[in-house]
Copies of this chain bind each other. A is one copy, B any other.
Amino acid sequence: MSVNATIVTIGDELLIGQVIDTNSAWMGQELSRSGIDVIRRFAVGDEKKEIISALDAARSISDIILITGGLGPTKDDITKHTLCEYFNSTLVFDEAIYEMVKGFFDRFKRPMPESNRGQAEVPDNCIPIKNYNGTAPGMWFDIEGKVFVSMPGVPWEMKLMMKDFVVPRLTERFETPHIIHKTILTQGIGESLLAERISDIENDFPPGFKLAYLPYLSSVRLRISAHGDDVATLQHTIDELSGRLHERIGEYIWGYDDDKLEAVVGKILLDRHKTLSTAESCTGGLIAYRLASVAGASEYYYGSVVSYSNTVKKEVLGVRDETLQKSGAVSEETVREMVTGLLSAMKTDYAIAVSGIAGPDGGTPEKPVGTTWIAVADREKTVTRHFHFPGNRERNMDLAAINALSLLRKFMLGTLKNS
């Protein structure tokens, strides 16, 4: 009793890499949560022969074949006609879908272009799926015991179809086993050392339970996965294994599953009725953006001064000209003055200040690219840390943001030593 799916994504833009395939990851998560195992993913171009070959391969290994892309109104979109041919069906005009497409343009008070009219035609052997965020309908085919679903490639449109129609209908149509994952989020220890520290626990994993290491920037995610029929037993064992890991490496753990560091930090602030502001040089607003991405952040996050130029450091944050002259913009003294100036300008309980050299230019022998100073503070004390990140511009910005948020978390929890 195992139900599996293959995802087929269609579009030349995926193969030549013009578009990053975020759809498959999202679909994988949704399906996995519903007990459907994604066992394979294919990406193919907008070519009939390629699409048919992928469909053949997918149906030979999977119960469910989910297809995205190639449903637009333009000439390069051939998925619908290809499916029609593949299933020997005929296109028929669907009144309800036509009303939906027309309604989409009416809503935005725009005339319907002629090319969108054809979108109301669907194969006669499918159940059309309404698209509330666009004009291309989805299609559900139930053929010889296998379900094929074709959806638009626009993430916003596909996601609503999946949630509203496809996933509920799939779990009704198939009897699904349970797949459970628990992911432990760590920071501050490398993959190999982590593996050594927990090797005896990993060796104890019962059959059907797997441990995976997913390193990313300066973090490692540990994912425990389990398959089985009895969800209570699975959950119990996963909790037990996770508990043993927590006992061993708790100091590095900052969250679980889909936790985001900015949300973990936000929750601490919210629980304590405290407020936060940030002053960012090399991260250029990334810390602010991450914090602001959390719904409800305005409750505790006051804002940021992105002090890219020294003018702003001086005028808005009150960093002294003398400090900038003597120690430089990337120095312990500067981040100390930034964080102090910020606390008094923003009037928050906590503050973060970051200044570094993200690269590619701006490095010197004493302060190479990657050199970064971070300060975290409340109204009583300031703690600073020095880093030398090994990345390119983008990566150094990411690493600075992660480490700044991580430092603040520890600072608020009282687990960060003064330095």
Interface residues of chain A, those whose CB is within 8 Å of chain B, are 11-22, 24-30, 32, 37-46, 50, 54, 57, 72-76, 110, 113-116, 133, 135, 154, 156, 181, 183, 190-193, 195-196, 202, 210-216, 221, 223, 225, 277-278, 280, 283-289, 291-293, 295-298, 301-309, 311-312, 315-316, 345-347, 359-362, 390-391, 393-395, 397
- Cβ of A74: which chain B residues have Cβ within 8 Å of it? 191-192, 195, 212-213
B17 touches A29 (CB 8 A): yes
B202 touches A75 (CB 8 A): yes
- Asked, given contacts A16-B181, A76-B213, A284-B289, whether A345 binds B316 with beta carbons under 8 Å apart, the answer is yes
- Cβ of A346: which chain B residues have Cβ within 8 Å of it? 311-312, 315-316
A17 touches B41 (CB 8 A): no
Q: 20 A-B Cβ contacts within 8 A? A: A12-B223, A14-B28, A14-B41, A15-B32, A17-B24, A17-B32, A19-B216, A24-B43, A39-B50, A40-B44, A41-B42, A72-B191, A75-B202, A113-B193, A135-B192, A277-B312, A286-B292, A292-B397, A293-B393, A302-B308
Rank and list the top 5 A-B pairs by shortest CB-CB distance, nearest first: A284-B292, A285-B288, A17-B28, A285-B285, A17-B29
- Cβ of A54: which chain B residues have Cβ within 8 Å of it? 40
- Cβ of A22: which chain B residues have Cβ within 8 Å of it? 20
Interchain CA distance A263-B18 in the complex, whole Å: 18
A308 touches B315 (CB 8 A): no
Interchain CA distance A66-B360 in the complex, whole Å: 29
Residue of A39, A288, A315 with most partner-chain B CB within 10 A: A288
Q: Which of B25, B135, B285 contacts A19 (CB 8 A)?
A: B25
Instruction: Return the chain B residue nearest A329 by Cβ.
Output: B298
Instruction: Return the chain B residue nearest A346 by Cβ.
Output: B312
Tell me the minimal C-beta distance from A332 to chain B in angstroms: 21
Residue of A110, A114, A309, A346 with most partner-chain B CB within 10 A: A309
Instruction: Return the chain B residue nearest A213 by Cβ.
Output: B74
Interchain CA distance A39-B16 in the complex, whole Å: 9
B15 touches A156 (CB 8 A): no
Instruction: Return the chain B residue nearest A212 by Cβ.
Output: B76
Residue of A14, A76, A288, A308 with most partner-chain B CB within 10 A: A308
